[in-house]
Structure 1
Amino acid sequence: MLLIAEDAKDWFYKGEGAANIVLGYCGSSLSLVGKVLRIQKVAKGRSRSPIGCLVLSNHERLVWRDIGELLECTSKDVAARAFIQHVMSNLLDSKHPVID
C-alpha cells in the first residue's frame, strides 16, 4: 500500500520512544482500521546505516544492550523482526498476536 501526503489526516500521534514515533490510524480504510505505523527517527543531517554494518546508533545500542540478537543485526529488516520478537511481543496481550 502506498500512502500519499493527503493520507496524513487519517493518522494520529500515539507516542514515541528513543528511536521511533508511533501513529494510530483513524481513517475509514477497512484494511488499516486498528493498525499503527512505526516511523524510525533519523537525526537531522544523518543518513541511514548502509547494509552490512551495525544498524543501531550508539544510543540505541545502550537502550537495547540486554537483547544480544538486536545488537548483532546487520540490516533494518532483521532488527525490526528482533524488536518485534523480543520487545513488542512482551507488551501485547493475546488479543494482539505478533505475526512474523
Structure 2
Amino acid sequence: KTIATSKKAEELLSNYAESSNFELSRKERKFILKEKEIEISIKERETALEIKKQELLIVIEKQKLENEKVRLELFAKEIELKEKAKKLDS
C-alpha cells in the first residue's frame, strides 16, 4: 500500500513539475512528495473511517429491525393469549 501511495505521489509530483515548467530542487521534490503521501494517507484513513461508520450504521439498522420484529411477535403472542383467555371464559 505504501508503494502504491508513493507511486501516486510521484505521479502527482511529476505532473506538478511538468505543468509548472521549472525544475524543483531535490529537497523541494522530497518535501512535496512527502506532503502528497501524507495527504493521500489522510484521505485513505478518512475513507476507511467512513466505510466503518457506514458498516456500523447498517448494524444499528439491522438491530432496530430485529427489535421491531421481536416486539411485533410479542404483540401477536399477547393477542393470541387474550383470545384463548376469552374462549376459556366463555
So what's the TM-score if we normalise by structure 2?
A: 0.25
Query: Which protein is richer in helix relative to its size?
Result: 2
Which gives a bigger RCO, structure 1 or 2 (Cα 8 Å, sep 6+)?
2
| More strand as a share of residues | 1
| TM-score for the superposition, normalised by structure 1 | 0.23
